[in-house]
Chains A and B, each alone.
Chain A
Amino acid sequence: AQTVTQSQPEMSVQEAETVTLSCTYDTSESDYYLFWYKQPPSRQMILVIRQEAYKQQNATENRFSVNFQKAAKSFSLKISDSQLGDAAMYFCAYGDYGGATNKLIFGTGTLLAVQP
Chain B
Amino acid sequence: DGGITQSPKYLFRKEGQNVTLSCEQNLNHDAMYWYRQDPGQGLRLIYYSQIVNDFQKGDIAEGYSVSREKKESFPLTVTSAQKNPTAFYLCASSPWGRNTEAFFGQGTRLTVV
Q: Which residues does A use to contact B, with CB under 8 Å?
A: 6, 9, 33, 35, 42-45, 47, 50, 52, 91, 95, 97, 100, 102-109
Contact = CB atoms under 8 A, between A and B. Distances in A.
A91 B42 contact: yes
A94 to B, nearest CB: 12
For chain B, the bracket of interface size reads 20 to 34
Interface string B60-100: 00000000000000000000000000001010101011111
A50 B99 contact: yes
Contacts of B17: none
Nearest to B101: A47
Interface of B: 31, 33, 35, 40-45, 48, 50, 58, 88, 90, 92, 94, 96-102, 104, 106-107
Contacts of A42: 106
